[in-house]
A and B are shown apart, each in its own frame.
Chain A
């Protein structure tokens, strides 16, 4: 493993890879800091370029955006009282009060150090756990893969929407979209209605651009407010003193462990882990009364936790092909786009890429620390760029990005059409992530279902009799049951409040 990691470092420190990794981290921090812009949108804007890059370089760059955006969210949370990303929501609780007291620099410094520590811990966990998990996953049968796809879809559907049915509907709509084109079994055309252009189905990149980026831009018309007032103060004293750093060790440790654990569970993410870490850090703190008043521990716990989810979320994505959250579902799409099939075989067929990602993730944490502290100086200026300028530029980038995929205006039309679909879904509470996951997992589920039925001589019960397959189906049923129970409880609460 050490040899592979060293090879990974050799690849990462090639000028092109290193340059784009620096670019990715810097872009991620800026994107994360801008309220309303998410890491997934940053990754989508870069997707058109990844075709022109070696696979390992492209993925390391995207990991840079992923990790950078997680930290970036804290800057606007501290300066604007508006979290740049949902993962930085808990950082507002103590970051903004500390900034109001005149210590914005210290707050950003603690956020950067905690993000670095959490990210590094999660990367180490990724390096140690992912290869072992992939060895287990190598024993999977076709039926197991089919059930795993169903599990991935149900867990994403149940976690990204308050209404489980809406999440499942979005996922199944994705499965339907994936059936258009040439079927993967005997190569017949399916649901093309005589249009030759539909034979290739709906390409993933324009759909991703439409659902996640264009819909976000169009949502602005429906009345997304401007960010809050920026804290007008000079950012000084970024690096905290040693006693201050030692006082946040415990919070960082709690945040890191919580972040990795939550990150590994598919369908969760930084938004959940940051609050869990905040509560636990308060419970175990020597000064719990300071939480909410500008406590350094109150910044360290959520920041280490949301960055620790990055490595955790990559574990199921790389080893099983099941994304941990929305942003990793976009990363999964990126893997598919460049022709790298996620799953246990990734470690066998593309070990070079995997170890470049591992080594890149370590380097990214150091870059994030450096750029995070440097960015704090210019953040007040960047955050002043109005959304009225940012959103039209993003829409233009989306159009150019969709066109550059294959120099076809058809792809731009698909992106715009799915932008409209995404807008509708957003307005009426249908999550976008299950839709995209459905499109990605659709062909995998179909191929494996067919293979399983073929191998079992048309015996459909094979899906329920294989232990691993049954395990995933039980997990799916459990996640659906839990979500249904949650909405039933909410329904009863609403009814009792109404009477």
Chain B
């Protein structure tokens, strides 16, 4: 609960600051003699952001003062989310060189292990078969280009 209050306070404050930044940046955009121009709409959005951000901050403060920022840190899920995203980002940058068919089973195997699936042989079979099916459906049936292995 404390975490949520602190997060709400931070988000509210950040929202108001971003809203102010949007208004500042929108002031540089070309204005028009008639109509709202390219900057008019972002200015409206900026005002709404500032208002909502301040309301959020006000709500948190009115419900019991400035929240303490003592986060309860559970490293396991943070590591898992981080590892899943890092694996996915790494895959995204490597797949154009190594190719979809070659690399995807490894990513899927890694994700299965990360999610706690401990049947290693079954996981390997699932990784290879699912990757093959996805390749056939996307690349062969719907003719969607998927990266292939290339030396150059």
Q: A-side interface residues toward B, CB under 8 Å?
A: 48-49, 52, 165-166, 168-169, 172-173, 175-176, 179, 183, 185-186, 188, 190-191, 217-218, 220-223, 386-389, 391-393, 395-397, 399-400, 403-404, 407, 409, 412-413, 416, 419-420, 423, 428-430, 445-446, 449-451, 453-454, 457-458, 491
B59 contact from A165, A428, A450, Cβ within 8 A:
A165
A391-B81 in contact (CB<8A):
no
> In angstroms, how far is the closest chain A Cβ from the Cβ of B48?
5
The DSSP consensus for interface residues of chain A is helix
Is the CB–CB distance between A169 and B15 below 8 Å? yes
Q: CB-defined interface of B21-46 with A at 8 Å, one 1/0 digit per residue? A: 01001000110101111101110110
Are the C-beta atoms of B146 and A190 separated by less than 8 Å?
no
A395 CA / B63 CA spacing, docked (Å): 39
Query: Knowing A52-B144, A188-B30 touch, does A453 contact B77 (C-beta < 8 A)?
Result: no
Bound CA–CA A483/B114 (angstroms): 41
Q: Within the complex, which residue of A223, A409, A413, A450 is in contact with B36, where a contact is CB–CB below 8 Å?
A: A450
* A185 & B38 in contact (Cβ 8 Å cutoff): yes
The smallest beta-carbon distance between A143 and chain B, in angstroms, is 12
How many A-B pairs have beta carbons closer than 8 Å: the answer is 159
Contact B11 A428, beta carbon cutoff 8 Å: yes
> Are the C-beta atoms of A428 and B4 separated by less than 8 Å?
yes
Shortest Cβ distance from A407 into B: residue? B145
Do A399 and B91 have beta carbons less than 8 Å apart?
A: yes
Do most interface residues of chain B lie in helix, strand or loop, or is the interface mixed? helix
Cβ contact of A409, chosen from B22, B56, B92, B108, cutoff 8 A: B92
Give the CA-CA distance A393 to B117 in the complex, in Å.
12
| Neighbour of A446 across the interface among B41, B49, B145, CB < 8 A | B41
* Nearest CB in chain A: distance from B126 CB, A: 6
Instruction: Say yes or no: A449-B92 contact (C-beta < 8 A), given A222-B77, A396-B104, A396-B107.
Output: no
- Chain A residues closer than 8 Å to B142, beta-carbon distance: 49, 52
**Which one of B15, B89, B138 lies within 8 Å of A400 (CB-CB)?**
B138
B140 on the interface (CB 8 Å rule)? no
Residue of B nearest to A405 (CB): B144
| A393 and B88 in contact, given A165-B52, A179-B41, A386-B117 (Cβ under 8 angstroms) | no
Q: Is residue B69 within 8 Å, beta carbon to beta carbon, of the partner chain? A: no
Partner of A185, one of B11, B35, B77, B81: B35
Residue of A nearest to B143 (CB): A52
Whole-angstrom distance between the Cβ of B50 and the nearest chain A Cβ: 10
Residue contact B8 to A388, C-beta cutoff 8 Å: no
B7, CB-defined interface residue at 8 Å? yes
By the criterion CB–CB under 8 Å, are A392 and B41 in contact?
no
Closest Cβ neighbor of A430 among chain B residues = B11
Q: Which of B42, B55, B81, B145 contacts A179 (CB 8 A)?
A: B42
Query: Do residues B52 and A191 form an inter-chain contact, with CB atoms below 8 A?
Result: no
Give the CA-CA distance A456 to B80 in the complex, in Å. Answer: 55
Contact of A221 with B112 in the complex, beta carbons under 8 Å: no
Task: Determine if B146 and A404 form an interchain contact, defined as CB atoms under 8 angstroms apart.
Answer: yes
| Chain A contacts for B138, CB-based, 8 A | 48, 400, 404
Determine if B130 is an interface residue (Cβ-Cβ < 8 Å).
yes
Chain B CB within 10 Å, residue with most, of A166, A389, A429: A389
- Closest residue of A by beta carbon distance from B122: A389
Are A399 and B38 closer than 8 Å at their CB atoms? no
Q: How far is the CA of A399 from the CA of B36 in the complex (A)?
A: 38
Query: Is B73 close to A, CB under 8 A?
Result: no
Further contacts, 14 of them, CB under 8 A, given A186-B38, A392-B111, A392-B114: A165-B59, A169-B11, A172-B48, A176-B18, A185-B36, A191-B22, A222-B77, A393-B108, A399-B88, A423-B81, A428-B8, A428-B11, A445-B41, A449-B41
Neighbouring B residues of A403 by C-beta, 8 Å: 92, 146
Question: Once bound together, how far apart are the Cα atoms of A445 and B30, in whole Å?
Answer: 19
B134 within 8 A of A: yes
CB pair B37 A186 closer than 8 Å: yes
26 CB contacts below 8 A, A to B, read A52-B142, A52-B143, A165-B55, A169-B15, A172-B48, A172-B52, A173-B49, A176-B42, A185-B35, A186-B38, A188-B38, A190-B29, A190-B42, A218-B81, A221-B84, A222-B81, A388-B112, A388-B117, A392-B114, A392-B115, A399-B92, A409-B93, A423-B81, A429-B4, A449-B44, A450-B41
